[in-house]
Amino acid sequence: MPRPTAAQLAYGSCTVIFSTLAMLLLSQTSSGLGIAVITLSALALGLLVAVTVPLPKRVRSGSLAAVPAPAPAPVQERVPAQRETASVAASLSSLSSVSSASGSAVREPAGP
């Protein structure tokens, strides 16, 4: 049997403590038999909660076939920053020369 995890211990302990207090306060019993029944029922409830806490999934060596890792995506070669800056500057200078050559010939579209 595997060892209980920290989550199982915490949930089980909290369940035992809080359920014992709640049942003792609600039943208002003072007899030894009543306290023993409440204590045993709280322990059983705590054990049930600790056992039903979801466990982390473990991979068994013989139960699952090895799944190959996905191939990494191909890396595209980036243009160095100097080339990008030069091409952007050339594009802007060609646009400015076209707009200055047209001068005032550019008109705003007429509105409705």
Identify whether the C-beta of residue 49 lies closer than 8 Å to the C-beta of residue 15: yes
Tracing tokens 């054990």 back to the chain, one arrives at: 47
Query: pLDDT tens-digit profile of 57-106?
Result: 766 665 555 566 677 777 666 655 556 666 666 666 666 655 555 555 55
Cα dist from 57 to 61, 63, 88, whole Å = 13, 13, 53
Query: pLDDT tens-digit profile of 11-49?
Result: 999 999 999 999 999 999 889 999 999 999 999 999 999
- Round to whole Å and give the CA distance between 17 and 42: 8
**If pLDDT is split at 50, 70 and 90, which confidence band does 54 have?**
confident
- Round to whole Å and give the CA distance between 6 and 56: 12
pTM above 0.95, yes or no: no
Identify whether the C-beta of residue 8 lies closer than 8 Å to the C-beta of residue 50: yes
